[in-house]
Structure 1
Amino acid sequence: MTDTPGAAAAQQPLVVPMQIEALAVNERVRLAEVFQRWQANYALTRLNLSPEPPAFSNTDTAFNSDPAREGIYLHWQLPEALTHGTDTDGDGVPVFPLVPNRWLVVRQAVATASGERTDTGWIVESDHLDPALGTSPYMDRDGRLTRIGRRVGLATGEWSEPGTPGGLFLTAVGPGLPTFAAYQPYNTDVFSVHDRTDDLDPRTAWQLNYLVAGWYGDPAADPLAGDLAARMAALRWTADGTAPDSARTVCHGTVLDIAWQRQGSPMPASDRPDYVTIGVGNNTEHATKAITEHAGRRAGAPPELAALLSAVHSGVLDLLDEPDGQFRAERAVHASWFTPTHAGYTWVLEDVPPDAPAEGARRRPRAARTAYAEVLARLNTAQAAHDAAVQDLIGAQRRLYDLWWAANLPKVPEAPGEPAGAYRERLDALVRTATEEAKAERDTVATLRAAIPWAESPDDLNDAIRAYQDAHGLPADQVVLKRDVLPGFQLPNDPVVVIRGTKDRPLPPDPEQPAATDLYTVPEGTYDDAEEDEAPPLACRWPAALVTGVRAAGTTVSASQANTPAPPHLPAPDGLAGVLASLLRELLHLAPSNARALARAAGYAGDVTALTEAMRAPEENAVGTPGTYTAPWRQPWSPLFFEWKVDYFPIEWQGDPGGAGAGRANWSFDGTSYRWLGTGAHPVPVSLRGRQFLTPTPGKTTAAALRQYARTHPGPAAGALRSLARQADDADLFAQPLVGFTEQLTARGHTPASLNPHSRLSPDLRTALTEAAARTLPPDPGARPRPFTGWNASLYQPLRAGQFAFERLAVIDRFGHTLPAIFPDPRALLFAAGNEPGDVIGVGVPARRFAPELPAELTPSLRSPADPAQGHHTINPPTWYRFTQLTPRLVQPARAGFTLLDARDDLNPLTTSSDPDTTAVAAWLVPGYLDRALYAYAPDGAPLGELRTTLPPDGLPRATWHPLPYSRYRTIGELRDAYPHLHDFLVALTAADRGPAALRSLLTVIDRTLSTTAPLGEAPAPYTPSVLLGRPLALLRVRLGIDLDGPPYADPAWRNLREGTPPGYPSYRWPVRLGERNELADGLVGYFHGDHRATDYRLLHTVLDTPELPDEARDYFAPIGTGSSLTLPARPPGSDPENRDAAFLTLLADPRGTVHATTDILPTAEVRLPARLVEPPLAELPVSFRLGPLPATPYAPEPDPAGNGGHAAHPPALLLPRPSDRHGTWTWVESATGDRWTEADTYAADGEAHHPHPAPALRTGRLTLRPTPADETEGDRR
C-alpha cells in the first residue's frame, strides 16, 4: 500500500469513524409498523413559514401500502465535530463546517443458505443540485427551489469526479434546517440511501454488509487542511501512530450482518419499546420525579427515596441539611418552574479596598459622599429610562410583527359591514405606522444608551465604565462603578413530558415477594462505582491500523487486497484509492457473514465455523484496530422527534366563560398554591400541538448531579452515588417540553416562522421582524369571518389556567419509524365500565385509556382537601385520570418585587436617591421585656424615646411616651415632621380607645414571632442590645408590585388586530402572602398597609395565626393567613406612574432577616436591608434602662498614688449596682431642666459591706450603655 504514514511528507488519509444505522423495511415491517415520514417543503419559506410541516400532518400516507418503500434505509451520522456551529462572526449566527460531499457506499449480499454473494457499489454526490434529477428537496443559497443529491451506480461504468465549480457549500444543516442531517427522509442521497434490493431474490434470506466512506471533493475544504496537530486538537480527534505532515479526512462506517428477507420473514429484533410510561411536570426534574415516584410505588420503595433523588436532580439536597433548608429548597424548586428573561441593570458604587487595613479610618466627607450619590442616582435614572425604552421597543416590534404577518398571509378578510378592501387598506397603513414607531423606539434606545456605559463585550464595557468614572468625577483610586443585573422577569415553563420506554408491559409486584423481583430493580454489581471520565476525543485511525486479518484457532487468516471481493469499477479518487480498497479489505475481515469468502480468498482450509465465531469478537481476534462502530446489526431505534396534541380546557379566573357569575372566584389561594373550585371551565377545548426534539436529558442530568454530589461529598457513600449515576445514565428516560404550549394560548402559531431572507424589506422593517420572530411564534389570527355569521370566536386566552388531556402522542425516530403512544379517540371524554386505565400504555392506546404520571402540583384539585375520598375536580369526572391541571399563571413574563423607599419620601426609591444618607428605615424599635416597654431610635441609632405603661393620678393605665437621654422629642406629636411613620405608628398604638392593651399585645406578638426567627445576617459578634433587651426591629418602608415586562399581549385575532385592544389580565388582582411564620431567616413580624401611600397604622397584619394572638387588643391585629388582605394586579410598564396599583407597606421586621412575598404565579419575591443601613446604626445603638429611686453613692477615688495625700483627678462618678462593662461603657443619665441632661460615669458596687461615706442619695434616671466600637467578645449575634 502506498499511502501509509511512513513518509512524513506524504498527505495521508485519516479514517474518522461515524455511526451507520440501517432500517430494514421488509414486507412485514411495512404492513405492521407505523411510520410518519415527511419531507421539507421549502416553498413555504416564501410565505415566511417553516419548511417543516405541522405535527401529524403532510406525512407519506402511501408508505405502508407501497411495496416500493421496502428495502434498506442506510443513514450515516456525521462526526460530532462536523455538526457543531460556532459564532465566528460575533453576530450570534452559528457557522457550520463543511461536510464531505462524496460518499462510496458498498453493499455485500451473502445468501444465508447457499453462500451466494453479490457486491454492489454506488457513489453518492451529496451536493449535486438539479431540480429535476436531484433526490431531496432543497433551497440553494440564492433562495431557488431545487433538489439535492444523487446516487450513481458503479455497475454501469467508471465514475469520475464531476468537480465543484461553485465551491463546496454543504453543511450538516443544509439550507438552514437543524434536523437536515439527522432526519433521514430529509437527506436521501445526501447522508443516506434507500437500497430497494430489487436485485436480490425477495424470498431468499440474505445477510447484508454495508460500507460507507466519505471524503471532500475539494481537498482545500478538508477540516484537516493546515496545521494537522492543531486541527485535530480543535476537532477533538486523535489517532495512534506516527502522524504525517498533512492529512485528508475519510469518514467511515460499516453495518454488519443485516438479516434481510424481503418477503416471508418475521419482524426483526429492535430496541423500540412496546410500552412507555409518561410523566408530566413543570420542568424535567419535576416530571422525572413523577416517573421515579411511579417506579418506587411499583417496587415497594419508600416515597422518601424518590424525594431524595429528586432533590439531588434539582440541586437542592445540600439545602435540606441547613437551617430553613426545606423552605429554601421548595422556593428553589418553585423558581425552577419559570424561565427568567432580561429585566435590565442597576449600578452600584463600591469603595476600592485598601492595600492594607487602615487603623482608625474615617468616613468619607459628606460633600464627597453626596457628590458620588448624585452621580449614581443620575446614572440609575438614565439606566431605568433605557431599560424602559427597551421594553417599549420590544412591544412595538411585537405589534409590528403581528400586523405584518397578518398582512402578508395569502388571504386577508373582509370586515363585516365595511367596504371591500377596507380591511387590507387599514392593515397596510397600520404596518407602515408600526414600522415607523418601531424605528422611533429603536432611535430612542440608541439615544438613551449614549448616556450610560454600554458595550457588547466585557472588556469594552470595562473601558466604558472607566471612561464614565473619569468624566463624572468618580476617582478610580477611591470607588469602583459596577453594573448589577436586575432580577429577571419570569415566564412559566411549558409543561415538560418525560418518557420511559420498556420492552415488556411491567406487572405489579406480588405483595408477598420482595421488591427485588420487580423489573425496575437493578441487581447488585451491575454497575461499577468508578468516577466517570470526561468524554474522550474521537479515536481515529491511520491506514496502517486498519484490520487486515483474523486470528482463529491459533491461525491468522488474512486475505490480500488483490483477493478481496469488490464491486465493479471501484473509484480511485486522487490520494484516496489505497485507503478505499483497504477499508473494503477490512470489511471482509470484520463481517462474520464473510467467513466463507474470507476463507476462499485467504486459502484457509480450517474450520469456517470457528472462523465465523472469531470474527464475532473483533476486539479480541482482529489483526489491526477495529473501528469504533463495529457492533452487529440490530434494527435501530433512535428517537428524534416527539409529536403531541392536547385538548386544553381553559378555566376562567373569575365567573363563567360567557360572562355570567362575574366576581365569583374559580380559584382559591391557600397562601402557597392555587386550588380549583370546580367552576368556570370552558366546555369546548382548545387544541394545542407541536413537534420537538427528544433528548435523553433526565438520565444525563440526574447522573451529572449524582456525580457532582459524590465529588463534593467524598466518603463511604461516594462510590454508591457514582454507581447510581451509571444506572441513571441507562435509565431510558427522554424528555421534552411541550414547546409553544403557553404561547399558543395567546393565539400564536405552533411552528416557528422562517423569515424569508430573499424578501424585499426595508432595513428597519427586516431588523424589527427578525428580532420579534426570534422572541415569539407568529400570530394566529384564526379563521376569517363568514358571510352572515360575522367574526369567529378568538383563540386567545388571557391566562394559563385550566386542565388538559393528551389527544395524541407519538415518538418518531431518525427514519420516521414511530411509536404511536396515544392515538385519537372519539370516546376520549366517555368511559365504559370496566375499561380502567393501566399504569403504562402500549402501542396505539386510545386517548381515553391514557393516564399520565403526575406530581402533586399538577394533579387536579381535590373536591375537599379534608376528605380526599370525595375525589377530584376534573373536566370530565369519569375519565379524571386523563387530566393534568395547570394552576393560574400569567402568559407574559412578569416580576414580583420589592423596592426600598426613602422613609421620609415614598417617591424617592433608594436606588435613585441623591442623598447618601437616605435609608428605608423609619425607626428602630427595641422591645424591653423586663419593664414591658418599647424603645424607639432614629434611623442613625440616635435615641428618641420609650413607650411604656404608666398609671396617672386618675387611676387609668395608659401607654405613655418618655424621651430617652438626649432626645429632644418630649411628646409623640413632636415626631411628626422628622419621623412621620414612627409618629403615625405610635399615635395608633397609644390611641385612647385602646389603652395600654395594644402595647402589651404588640410586645407579646413580637416575642412569639421572634421565638421562631433567627436570621444571622451580617451581624458582628457580639450584638449588645439583644443580649440585654429584645432584638432590634426595623420599621421600614417598601413598595411591592407585580410588573409585566412590556405592553400586555394583545389578541391578534382578525377582529381585534387593527385596534389592538389590550386584554383584561392586567386588571386581575392576585393575593400576596407576606412572611413565612416558621422560617428562621424570615424576619417579618407584620406589616401596615393602607390606601395608596396613606398607611393605616391601626391594623397590624401579623404572621401569627388567630390562635397565637394575645387575647387583648384583638382589633389591632389581623393574621396574614393566605394573603387575601393584600392583592395586586400585574401592571404594564408606564400604566401606573403614581404606583396606585402597587402596595406601599411599612414592615415591622428583623433588620437582618429576609421578608418573602409568595404569589405562586411567580417565584417568591424577597427583600432585605443592605448591611450598610443596618450594621453602623445598630453598632452605636445605646441601651438605656429606667431605674429609680435607686441609692447611689458618689464615687470616691483611691488616694493619689504619688503619696501627696490628695486624690487623683477624676470626673464626677457614681457607685451603684450595674451589669458588667464587657459590652461597653455604662453611664448614669438624669433629666435636668428642659432638654438638658446630666451624665456621670459609673462604677460597679461590689457585694461587700461598706460604711456609707459619703452617704448615698436616692436617684431616678437611666443607666445607659454605649457599645464599645472594637468590642470583640463573644455573645449573642442575633
Structure 2
Amino acid sequence: AFFRAFPPQTFDKATPTTHYQSWYFLMALFAYERLHHTSYMSQALDGFNQALLMYKTGFQLDIADPIGYPEYQAFTEKVNGAIGTFNHASVLPNNPFYPIRSGALKLGKLRIVDTFGIKKEVEVIRRRGGEELPLNRLYSTDTIAAETLRGETYHDIQLRPRFVQPARINFRWLSSVDDALEMTDHPVSSPIFGWLLLNEIDESLMIYDQAGKALGYIDKEGRWRVFPGHSGPVLPAGIANDHLRRLVVWICGKAVATKDDPQPFMDHFFERLEQSIDNIEAADSDHYEGTSLLMSHPLALVRASVQVELKGETVKHQGWEPLKRELKQVVDEEKVQRETLGFENVDIPLRLGERHKLNDGLVAFWVDDENGYRGDTYFSPLDPQVLTMQARPSDQIDDRDGLHLSMLMDPRGNIHATTGFFPVKTLELPPALYKDILRSIEVVFLAAPVLGPQGLVNISLPQEEGFDWAWIERTPEAWREISTVGYLSRKAFLETFGKEAVATWDALIANGSLSPVDEEEAIIALQNGARPLQELFPNDHAALEHFFRSRLIGPFQQIARFEGQQEVREGWLKLRPTNGETK
C-alpha cells in the first residue's frame, strides 16, 4: 500500500524545490522496507520489581509443617490463616534491596518456552563486526528499547528514578474552609477561597470573596481600601475566610515593610503577575464572558495539597541481618524498627507550573507552614523553585503530611505538578465553580480629577453592547452611584420636590418621560416623552431638568457654556451588565 501511494515516478520528477521533501520520502521507504522484512518478538518483563525488593514471584505452597511436633502444628495453622492468599512470592534474603531503582538494565540470559513447554536457552552477547555467529545467540544490538529507556550505550536500557513499591503523587483540591476535606460535588467543598484582579490603571489589587463579591483593594503603598460603593470590611482583619484574610494581611505587610526600598514589593509582585498572565492562553478561554474579562484578568485563589503516597505499608528489607536485629529487639522487649534503608525519607523534588505550556494557569503560590508561609515569600513559575516532599504509606497519611498550598491561577487553565519520579499530574477547576462568578465580578477604576458643572458628571465613555457605565463617588452621608442609563429612585425624587412630588412623578410616568422599573424605581427617558418638560411644568422644568441631569452621566461638553460654578470631582467608573446589576 505504501509503494502504491508513492510510486518510483514520484522521485523521478523531483525538482530542487522538492528535493528536501523527497529525501524524507526515501527515508520513509527505507524504514518501511526494514520493518517489512524483519521479524520481532516482544514480551513483558515480569518479576523484575519484585526481585529488587528481595522477592521471587511464582506459585507457592501453603504454609504447613507436616512433620513438625504436635505442639507447633497449631501455631503453623495460625500463621497460614493469617497469610491467606498473600503468599504470592518467596523471599530472596541474599539479594540486594533496591526500594528506589535508578540505573541501567542489560539483558544477560534469555529462555524461550514454546506452547508445548519446550524451553530453549538463548545466549545474549554483543555483535562482533564481520563475524558469523550461531543462530541460537541473541545480539544485544538487536534489542530495541523505547527512546525514553535508551542508555548511554545501545545495548543498555536506562531506568529512570522510580519507586519500586507502587506509589503516586497525590495532588488534590482542598476545601476552602477545611483543609481536612477534599473537593467534592458539594458547593461547600469548593477550593476557591477568593479572587484577585489586577487593576493596571490604578496599579492596585482588587480582592473578592469566594462568590466574587467585592471586598476591597490594596493600593500601591500596601494600604487596604474599602471597595467603592461598599461598606466594608474596613480592615483586612474583617475578612471572613481564614486563608483569604491571611494572604491579604501578608501582602499588605510586605508592601508596607518595603515601600522605601529601591524595588518595593508591590512593584515586583505586580510585575511578576503581569508577566505570568501574559504567558497564559487557556485552551477554551474564548468560551467565557464577563465584565471582568473585558477590563482585566480575574485570578482565582485556590487551596490544594500535594504529597507522595506509597501503596500499603512501607516495604521492608528481607535480609538475614535485619531479621536478626528485629528478633533481638523482640527478645529485649524493645520497639521493633523494621529496616527500610530510610528510602521513605528521601526528598522527592517537586516543581509546580509549566511556564512553557500556554494552558498552564498557575501565576503564583504560597506554601503553608506553622508561621504563615514558607520562607515568608511566594513562588512563581517564572522563577521555578524545586520543593521537596517525602513518601508516606497510604495507611499512615493524615492531613498534616505533604504540602498545603494557596495558589493564584487563571481558573480556565490547569496546573502541572512535575517530580521526575512520577507521571506529570494535572489539576483543573470544573467550569461550574467559576463561570457564573466571572460574569458577576465588579471592576472599578479611579477617575480623578474630573472638572465639570457643579452637581453634574460629564464624561465621554465608549459604548459596550449589553453594558452600561456607572459613576461611584463618596458623599458625606454615603456612597452615591449614577449611571449612563439613569436609574431614579422614587424616594429620592419625593425628598427633593416635596409635597407636589407625587403628582409630578405620576405625570412624568404618564408622559413617558420616566420608564417605570417597579413601583419604587424608574429610568429617565426624557427623549421618549410625548410632551417636553417645558410644556408640562412651565414653572419647574428648569429644576426638573437639572435634577435629571444630575442622575445621569452626560457626555463631555466641548463647547464652553459657563453654566454656573465649576467643581472638581473624584470618583470611580464601573462597567456593569445592563440587566441584573445592583442599582
Q: TM-score, normalised by structure 2?
A: 0.69
Aligned length: 468
Partner of 1:1266: 576
* CA–CA distance in structure 1, aligned partners of residues 272 and 425 of structure 2: 24
Partner of 2:135: 843
Deviation at 1:1231, TM superposition (A): 2.3
* CA–CA distance in structure 2, aligned partners of residues 519 and 819 of structure 1: 31
Partner of 1:1061: 338
Deviation at 1:889, TM superposition (A): 0.8
* CA–CA distance in structure 2, aligned partners of residues 1179 and 1244 of structure 1: 24
Report the 3-state secondary structure (helix = DSSP H, G, I; strand = E; otherwise coil) of the residue aligned with 2:312.
Answer: coil
Structure 1 pair 1044–1178 and aligned structure 2 pair: CA distance change class (3 A): same
Deviations 1:1147-1202 (A, max 9, x none): 1211221111011211222222333332232221111111112135689xxxxxxx
* CA–CA distance in structure 1, aligned partners of residues 422 and 31 of structure 2: 40
Deviation at 1:819, TM superposition (A): 6.5
After TM superposition, list the pairs within 5 Å mapping 1:129-278 onto structure 2: none
Deviations 1:949-979 (A, max 9, x none): 3xxxxxxxx3433221204133445548763
Structure 1 pair 908–1009 and aligned structure 2 pair: CA distance change class (3 A): same
Deviation at 1:1021, TM superposition (A): 3.9
Structure 1 pair 906–1216 and aligned structure 2 pair: CA distance change class (3 A): same
After TM superposition, list the pairs within 5 Å mapping 1:440-839 onto structure 2: 521=33, 732-753=39-60, 769-770=84-85, 772-773=86-87, 777-782=88-93, 793-815=94-116, 820-823=121-124
Structure 1 pair 1216–938 and aligned structure 2 pair: CA distance change class (3 A): same
Report the 3-state secondary structure (helix = DSSP H, G, I; strand = E; otherwise coil) of the residue aligned with 2:219.
Answer: strand
* CA–CA distance in structure 2, aligned partners of residues 516 and 971 of structure 1: 69
1:1239 pairs with one of 481, 501, 505: 481
Report the 3-state secondary structure (helix = DSSP H, G, I; strand = E; otherwise coil) of the residue aligned with 1:1000.
Answer: helix
* CA–CA distance in structure 2, aligned partners of residues 1143 and 909 of structure 1: 14
Deviations 1:694-731 (A, max 9, x none): xxxxxxxxxxxxxxxxxxxxxxxxxxxxxxxxx88x97
After TM superposition, list the pairs within 5 Å mapping 1:825-904 onto structure 2: 843-845=135-137, 852-860=143-151, 872=152, 880-904=153-177
Deviation at 1:1000, TM superposition (A): 2.1
Structure 1 pair 980–800 and aligned structure 2 pair: CA distance change class (3 A): same
Deviation at 1:890, TM superposition (A): 0.9
Partner of 1:869: none
Structure 1 pair 1145–515 and aligned structure 2 pair: CA distance change class (3 A): closer
Deviation at 1:1256, TM superposition (A): 5.6
Report the 3-state secondary structure (helix = DSSP H, G, I; strand = E; otherwise coil) of the residue aligned with 1:1217.
Answer: coil
CA contact (8 A) 2:104 2:159 kept: yes
What is the identity, as a one-letter code, of the residue corresponding to 1:747? M
Report the 3-state secondary structure (helix = DSSP H, G, I; strand = E; otherwise coil) of the residue aligned with 1:742.
Answer: helix
CA contact (8 A) 2:104 2:157 kept: yes
After TM superposition, list the pairs within 5 Å mapping 1:1149-1188 onto structure 2: 1149-1188=409-448
- Which deviates more, 799-808 or 1092-1101? 1092-1101
* CA–CA distance in structure 1, aligned partners of residues 414 and 459 of structure 2: 41
Q: Is residue 944 from structure 1 mapped to residue 236 from structure 2 by the alignment?
A: no
CA contact (8 A) 1:988 1:1097 kept: no
Q: Is residue 1089 from structure 1 mapped to residue 381 from structure 2 by the alignment?
A: no
After TM superposition, list the pairs within 5 Å mapping 1:1210-1249 onto structure 2: 1214-1233=457-476, 1236-1242=478-484, 1243=552, 1245-1246=554-555, 1249=558
Supply the RMSD in Å over aligned alpha carbons: 4.1
CA contact (8 A) 1:1217 1:1245 kept: yes
In the alignment, structure 2 segments of 5+ residues that lack a partner are 1-19, 67-72, 328-335, 485-551
Partner of 1:1007: 274
Partner of 1:1147: 407
* CA–CA distance in structure 1, aligned partners of residues 42 and 24 of structure 2: 21
1:920 pairs with one of 185, 188, 191: 191
What is the identity, as a one-letter code, of the residue corresponding to 1:843? L
Report the 3-state secondary structure (helix = DSSP H, G, I; strand = E; otherwise coil) of the residue aligned with 1:906.
Answer: coil
Q: TM-score, normalised by structure 1?
A: 0.33
* CA–CA distance in structure 1, aligned partners of residues 150 and 239 of structure 2: 55
Structure 1 pair 837–858 and aligned structure 2 pair: CA distance change class (3 A): farther
Structure 1 pair 1022–1237 and aligned structure 2 pair: CA distance change class (3 A): same
Partner of 1:1120: 384
Deviation at 1:1225, TM superposition (A): 3.5
* CA–CA distance in structure 2, aligned partners of residues 1192 and 1144 of structure 1: 53
* CA–CA distance in structure 2, aligned partners of residues 838 and 1033 of structure 1: 66
What is the identity, as a one-letter code, of the residue corresponding to 2:475? A
Partner of 1:980: 245
Structure 1 pair 1268–1151 and aligned structure 2 pair: CA distance change class (3 A): farther
Structure 1 pair 742–767 and aligned structure 2 pair: CA distance change class (3 A): same
* CA–CA distance in structure 1, aligned partners of residues 116 and 463 of structure 2: 84
* CA–CA distance in structure 2, aligned partners of residues 519 and 1127 of structure 1: 44
Structure 1 pair 768–516 and aligned structure 2 pair: CA distance change class (3 A): closer
Structure 1 pair 821–898 and aligned structure 2 pair: CA distance change class (3 A): same
Partner of 2:299: 1033
Report the 3-state secondary structure (helix = DSSP H, G, I; strand = E; otherwise coil) of the residue aligned with 1:1219.
Answer: coil
What is the identity, as a one-letter code, of the residue corresponding to 2:224? W
* CA–CA distance in structure 1, aligned partners of residues 161 and 378 of structure 2: 29
Query: What is the percentage of aligned positions where both structures have the same residue?
Result: 23
2:226 pairs with one of 960, 963, 987: 963
* CA–CA distance in structure 1, aligned partners of residues 474 and 317 of structure 2: 71
CA contact (8 A) 2:218 2:224 kept: yes
Deviations 1:975-1024 (A, max 9, x none): 48763233233234413235473222222222222222111458754232
Deviation at 1:852, TM superposition (A): 3.4
Deviation at 1:740, TM superposition (A): 1.1
After TM superposition, list the pairs within 5 Å mapping 1:315-394 onto structure 2: none
Structure 1 pair 1232–1137 and aligned structure 2 pair: CA distance change class (3 A): same
Deviations 1:1027-1057 (A, max 9, x none): 222x111222221111112111223334445
Deviation at 1:778, TM superposition (A): 0.7
What is the identity, as a one-letter code, of the residue corresponding to 1:1047? E
Deviation at 1:743, TM superposition (A): 1.4
Structure 1 pair 898–1135 and aligned structure 2 pair: CA distance change class (3 A): same
Structure 1 pair 1094–515 and aligned structure 2 pair: CA distance change class (3 A): closer
Partner of 1:418: none
Report the 3-state secondary structure (helix = DSSP H, G, I; strand = E; otherwise coil) of the residue aligned with 1:1178.
Answer: helix
Deviations 1:819-864 (A, max 9, x none): 75434x7xx9xxxxxx8579998624488x656333442233xxxx
Structure 1 pair 1069–1163 and aligned structure 2 pair: CA distance change class (3 A): same
